[in-house]
Structures are given as C-alpha cells and as structure tokens.
Chains A and B, each alone.
Chain A
Amino acid sequence: MHLYAIFALPFLGALAAALLPSERFRPLLIPAVGLLHAYYSLRLAFAPQPYPPDAMLGLDALGRLILLVVSLLFAASSLYAVGYFRTHPTWGNRIFIVCLLVFLGAMSLAAAARNFGLLWVAVEATTVISAPLIYFNRNRLSIEATWKYLLICSVGIALAMLGLMFVAYAGLQAGQGPGLQIDRMLAEAGLLSKPWLRTGFVFLLVGFGTKMGLAPLHTWKPDAYGEAPGLVGALLAGGLTSVSLLAVLRALQIMTAAGEDILARQFLLILGILSLIFAAIFVIRQRDIKRMLAYSSVEHMGILAVGLAVGKLAAYGAMFHVMNNALTKGALFMCAGNIHRYFGSKRMCETRGAAAALPWSATLFLIGFLAITGSPPFGPFISQLTIIRGIFDGGNVLLGIGFPFLLLIIFIGMSTTVMPVVLAPAEADPSPGEGAKETWLTVLSPLLLMSAVLVLGLSLPEPLRRLFQEAADLIEVGP
C-alpha cells in the first residue's frame, strides 16, 4: 500500500499543480508532496515489505536506501523551493513544478523497479523531465546546457538500453525464458552466456555511467549543474546521480551473481579513478562555484565507483557515502543558489565576501565544503575513511595511498575557490536591494541537511547502519 503511495503522491501532486490556477499557492504543493513522500519513504525504508518473486515493483535494501536518500533530499529542498518562488513571485512556475514532481515520481519508480526494463524507463524519464528544469532561467547559457544534457544523456541511456538487450540476449542463449525481472535474472545468473553478459555490462556501465557523470562521460555535468537553478542542481547532484548509481548497482549485482564480478570491478575501478583524476584537474582554479560543485560531484561519483570496485568494507562505505554525498551536495547547491541570486553572478571574483552579505548561506556553504571534502566530524569523513580502510583491507596499498592523495588535491583546489568567496572582504558593496537576500526558507533547507550530515558523522543511527549493511551485502552476494 505504502509502496504505491510513493508513486501516486508525486504524480497526483503534478496533476494538481497542472490544474491549480494560482501561481502563488502552487509552490506549496512541493512541500506537501515532499513531506508526505518522506513520511512514507521512512516507513518503507525501515520496515521492509516482502514482495512476490515475479513482481514488477518491490523494494530491496538497495531500493530502500536510494528511495530514502532521494525522498529526504527532496523533502528538505521542498522548503527551499517555496522560498525560491517567493523571491521570484512573477515567474511562471507551472511547468517547473509539474516537472519537479514528476521527476520525484520517476526517481521513486526507479528505486522500486524490479524489472530492469522498467528501471530503464524510469531513468530515461528522469532525463527527459529534468530538461525543462535545467532550462528554467531561459537564457543562452541554460539552453546550451539543456541541449548538451538532453543529447548526451539520451544517447548514454540509449547505450544502456543496448546493454540491457545484450543481457537479455545472454538470458535467451542460456535457454531460460527471456526476461528482465531482476530477481529471476539474479537467481539464474550463472546460466547467462558470458560474452553477451560482459558486453552488456560494459554498455550498461557506460550508459548509466553517463547519467551518473563518471569521467570521461561527465562532460554535460558542469554545464547542466552550472546553469540550472540551485534547487535543481541539488536534486540532480543528490537524487539523480543516486538513482543512476542504483542502475549501475543492479548491473553489478547481476555480474556478481554470474561470477563475473572481477571484470565488473575492474571497469568500475578504472572509471572511478579517472573521475577522481578529472575532478582533481578541473576543480583547481575553477572560477565558477556551481561548476566547481559539479566537478566535486564527478569526484564523489568516482569515490562511489572505487568503493564499489574494492568491495567488502568499502562497499559498505560506499552505501553510506551515497547518503552523505546526496545530503551534503544538496545543501551546497542550495547555498550556491542563494549566493548566485544575491550577487547575480556565480563567478568567484564577483561573489567575494559572501559572509558579510549572506551570513547563514555563506557559513553553511563553508561548512558544506568542509563536510564534502571529508573533514571530521561530518558524515562524509566517516564514509570516506571507511572506503580507505576497505582499500587497505583489500591489500591494495598503491590505491590506498593514491586515493587520499587525490582527495587532498581536490580539497586544496576547492578551498582556493571557496575561501575567497566566503571569507574575503567584499570588494564593493552591492547596492542594497540589488540581489535577493536570503530568507529563513532558503536557509532552513541547507541547515536541516547539514545538521543531518553532522548527526550521521557523530553517531550513526542503528537502523540506518543496518540498512547500509544490508544494501552492501546485496552487492556482495556471489554465485
């Protein structure tokens, strides 16, 4: 019953938003749907419901984790959305809000899909429906970003479809009845034809990896994140990437069940390390705070991929990191949005001294930066440390040294951008009333998210720990 609520709510909300004539009250639908959705997701996440083996929909530990992450992020950012539209009361918001809610519905659908085809459909739907969100600012830059995002991700997703078909063909060749039902594929994975399965995995990884933003398939990411409103950036960087990661995890699950996990892990490791290197190169001297965050997102996708590739303890760390990354990145993008709106620019040189003008947002931005780069006592510190420990447990010393080294470079690179923005004395006072000041709504969301990240770092609640562990165990199930 609750399972259906998580799709029904966003879609009904979208319908209501489409029909509601009032531009003023329409934004209120977002927190209404978001909070209810979060309520149901919380209940689902910690009270697993069994589902029949041939079901189209059902939530296993991975699905519950991703659903929880997406839902919490959305609920927190829904408050920000209300504040966002208060500052722009004249902007038409019907399409934006409808798309936003459908976006949530599609992400929930992806989390609960038990059929690989359905998962694909949901992920593709998120691509299409988020394009209008990125284009919300309606200028040359955002149209360019939207076009690149739409085309690159559509092609990526099409490649994933091809991979899916290869995997299905592997099943056809094994003589088992063809099908893309995940549980059945897992159960019969040992029979799958290996060459087709391997090729299929590569395509799936490339396809969904494009959507995740793993280097070198990340090229759309800085543009899309840079030009989208902060709210959308938060949902893309925290929600969409997690959902795409889920699709990659499903592929990894099948490979592991078929006894092909070594190959899969190698590919993941290569893409993960590449992502870290790319992020390290481009984050240095990055003048644009949102683009900097985009590269940070590439970095964290790389961290997740490395964690998954190493496995065991690191896989647990990666599951933990999914949540940390989503919540922290959400807070960062919303703060960046506040700064962007106040200064009318997201260039580093034009946003100096934000702390004086926007005390809350700037402080939260700084804290978020410290958290995301892995400073104690926040959640990402614990999860990254767990991944590093996992690497050393696996005996890969070279990686164990190189990985933190890359993280350090990225920390330094990001700090050269963040510090001037937050702490430098303002060069010229922007005339009062020029930019939009922060309001309690636009500050509350990142504040909530950052407190959650702090709690995760200080003491991880037991049910959550169990959820991460169960999710990590699912990936590790061998043949």
Chain B
Amino acid sequence: MPIPINEILVAVILLNFFILGTSRLGTCIMAVASQGILLALLPPLVHGVNGHSVLLSVGALSIKGVVIPWLLFRAIRRVRIRREVEPRIGYIASLLLSALITTAAFLFADRLPLLPLHIHSFFIPVALSTLGAGFLLLITRRKAITQVLGYLVFENGIFIFGILLVEAMPLMVEAGVLLDMLVAIFVMGIVMNHINREFSTINTEHLSLLKE
C-alpha cells in the first residue's frame, strides 16, 4: 500500500476550493476541521512513526480537528447568526481567484531553489495555495467568524510547510505554536461574542467607528 501523502495534499487543495465556494457557515467550519484532520495525519506519514511526529499529530488532531471546530460551532450557536457566509465578492469570483492562486503556486513552486528531495513534491505548492486561499478568505469575507476561518486556513498552510521542517522545531516550540493558536481562537471567539452583543451582528463592516 503506497503512502497516500499526495492524495491527502490534493484533498487539502480541493477543500480549499470547497471552503471558498460553499455558502453555509456550518459546512465551512466542518471543511476547515477536516482539513485540519487531514493535515494532522501527515507528520507520521512523512517522517515515520516516532514520538515527535506522533505527538505533533495528536496535538494537531485534537486542536485543529476537535477543539477549535467545537469552539466555533459554540460561537455561532451563541450569537445566533445567519448561517450564510455573505462574502464581499461572489463565490464564483473567489473560486476563480483561488484557481489563479493555485496555478501560480504550482508554477512558482517549480522555480524555487528546493532541496532535491522536495522537487516536484506537492508540499510547497499546496502550502502556497493554502496560504493564498486563507488570505483570500480573510480579505473577502464580511463576518468575523469567516475571518477567523480564513486565519485558520492560513495557519494550515503554514503547518503544511512546517511538516517539511518537523526536525527543525523542538517539540516545545510546536506545542507552544498550537497552544497559542488555540488561545487566539478562544479569545477571538469571546471577542466575537462581545461584538455581537454590542452591534447585534458579527458583520465586521459595522466595525467602522474608528477611522481618521
């Protein structure tokens, strides 16, 4: 049985498209969660089963795949928002943009000075296009919660790149990174709740009181 690394990475890109194209908030959260779970499988597959990679995998799985989605679902239940994504630019435009980004990522990745081991590997282009998709979500979505999702997708892109560098990071640092992310999402969830209480919406376009 060949190790399905490339298949997982392709699935990650398809999930990017899906997240950008779907209109339901709940589905969006589920998709981000499953992307996190897929990514959590990668460290042991790439680096073999050892203490470090397994711990990273378990940590990522529980935080990206379970705790954060749970926090987000709790957040949308609490603030009782409309379960629609409401993008600033249309879904089709976002899809086309993300296709452009993905193409650029694939073309660009082959021109990078990579290690011989990583030439033609899927890791770099997938990481780049996931970063792009995350950025796109951050910029083009109106709701606070979808911006958080964008941030998560962006983090996933970094995580993909980081898998190549598992040995470079001490476990403590990786734990710290994941923990920081968790607390960040937790705090964002609380802030979101307060935004909703103050403005009766979590549409961030209403956050325009402060300007020059």
Task: List residues of A whose CB falls within 8 A of some B CB.
Answer: 56, 115, 117-118, 120-121, 124-125, 127-129, 131-132, 135, 138-141, 143-148, 150-151, 154-155, 158, 161-162, 165, 168-169, 171-173, 177-180, 193, 195-196, 222-223, 226-227, 282
Contact = CB atoms under 8 A, between A and B. Distances in A.
A-B residue pairs, 3 tightest by C-beta: A117-B173, A178-B168, A121-B176
B115 interface: yes
A179 B174 CA distance: 13
A261 to B, nearest CB: 21
Counting chain A CB atoms within 10 Å of each CB, the highest count among B167, B168, B195 belongs to: B168
Contact of A121 (B112, B131, B177, B195): B177
B164 to A, nearest CB: 7
8 contacts: A125-B176, A135-B191, A140-B209, A141-B209, A143-B198, A144-B207, A144-B208, A147-B144
A128 B151 CA distance: 14
Interface residues of B, number: 41
Nearest to B131: A162
Contacts of A172: 115, 164-165, 168
B165 A169 contact: yes
B27 to A, nearest CB: 23
Secondary structure class of chain A's binding surface, majority of residues: helix
Nearest to A141: B209
B169 A150 contact: no
Contacts of B204: 147
A227 B183 CA distance: 22
Interface string B6-39: 0000000000000000000000000000000000
B172 A118 contact: yes
Given A154-B184, A172-B165, A56 B172 contact: yes
B158 to A, nearest CB: 5
Interface of B: 112-115, 131, 138, 144, 147, 151, 154-155, 158, 161-162, 164-165, 167-170, 172-174, 176-177, 180, 183-184, 187-188, 191, 194-195, 198-199, 204, 207-210, 212
B188 A117 contact: no
A290 to B, nearest CB: 11
A146 B184 CA distance: 12
A340 B187 CA distance: 27
A165 B184 contact: no
A143 B188 CA distance: 11
Nearest to B206: A144
A150 B204 CA distance: 13
A169 B173 contact: no
Secondary structure class of chain B's binding surface, majority of residues: helix
Contacts of B184: 124, 127-128, 150, 154
Contacts of A169: 161, 164-165
A43 to B, nearest CB: 27
Contacts of B165: 165, 168-169, 172, 178
Contacts of B194: 135, 138, 143
B210 A147 contact: no
B151 A151 contact: yes
Contacts of B162: 165
Counting chain A CB atoms within 10 Å of each CB, the highest count among B162, B169, B199 belongs to: B169
A138 B197 CA distance: 11
B187 A132 contact: yes
B109 to A, nearest CB: 13
Given A139-B198, A144-B210, A162-B131, A115 B173 contact: yes
Nearest to B112: A195
A359 B138 CA distance: 47
A234 B180 CA distance: 24
Contacts of A127: 184
B131 A140 contact: no
B207 A148 contact: yes
Given A125-B183, A132-B187, A226-B210, 10 more contacts: A115-B173, A118-B172, A120-B173, A143-B194, A144-B207, A147-B207, A150-B184, A162-B131, A165-B158, A173-B115
B113 A173 contact: yes
A129 B188 CA distance: 11
A117 B180 contact: no
Nearest to B155: A158
Contacts of B155: 158
